[in-house]
Amino acid sequence: MTNRSKAINDLDEVKEHMGGGSDVSETILDNLLAYLTVDQIKDFTEHFKRTHDIMGYEQYELCRDCQGTFDSNKSCGCEDTQPPQGSSSYFSSLVPEC
């Protein structure tokens, strides 16, 4: 068992001793938040937002075309600035003519 899972197990045991359930979870969360520093809470919130799908929340995604980030509620917009497929002058212009 890793240190982390051992630590979480210990906290789970405390939760069981307090009767378990969502009320106890909330009490533990409240106490945990009171215990953490402001920076830790901020970091966690950012991490949580990145790793969870939050309905209606503004999220940024990585564009497969331009590798930039864009608001997932909208499209990237880079499609407009890139040359249309099959048009001239991408690699073809770099290849010397024989």
Taking the chain, what is the end-to-end CA distance rounded to the nearest angstrom? 66
CB nearer to Zn ion: pick between 58 and 65: 65
Q: Provide the minimum distance between the beta carbon of 59 and Zn ion in the complex, in angstroms, as a whole number.
A: 15
Give Dmax over CA atoms of the chain in angstroms. 81
CB nearer to Zn ion: pick between 9 and 75: 75
Q: Provide the minimum distance between the beta carbon of 74 and Zn ion in the complex, in angstroms, as a whole number.
A: 11
CB nearer to Zn ion: pick between 33 and 78: 78
CB atoms within 10 A of CB 53: 8
Q: Provide the minimum distance between the beta carbon of 67 and Zn ion in the complex, in angstroms, as a whole number.
A: 7
Assigned token pair, 58: 């503004």
Residues that bind Zn ion (CB under 5 A): 63, 65-66, 76, 78
